[in-house]
Amino acid sequence: MIPSSLERLQITKKNGSQIIIDPETIEEEEGVFKVKPVAVVGNQVFIVCPLCGQIHVHGCVAGSRNSHCKDMTGVYEIVSDVV
């Protein structure tokens, strides 16, 4: 894990399910979220999805991604100096 991510993440419940919130995620005007990685392992980056509140894994390259959420669609951009 990226050390600062342990301090910033919040765990809560939504609709009876446990979710993670990253307060450093920013939603832009057009519904695109800017997210920071919580961990980088090898060539994979781990982020908290702003749509479902779960951890998603992507290739370790900054830029836009489509969400992996079941029954949800959205776009977020991974922004960081570690990817």
pLDDT in single tens digits along all 83 residues of the chain: 676 777 889 999 988 989 999 999 999 878 889 999 999 999 999 999 998 999 999 988 888 888 878 767 788 899 876 65
What are the structure tokens assigned to 24, written together? 């450093």
- Among candidate residues 42, 28, 29, the one with its CA nearest the CA of residue 79: 28
The domains of the chain are located at: 3-78
What are the structure tokens assigned to 10, written together? 């919040």
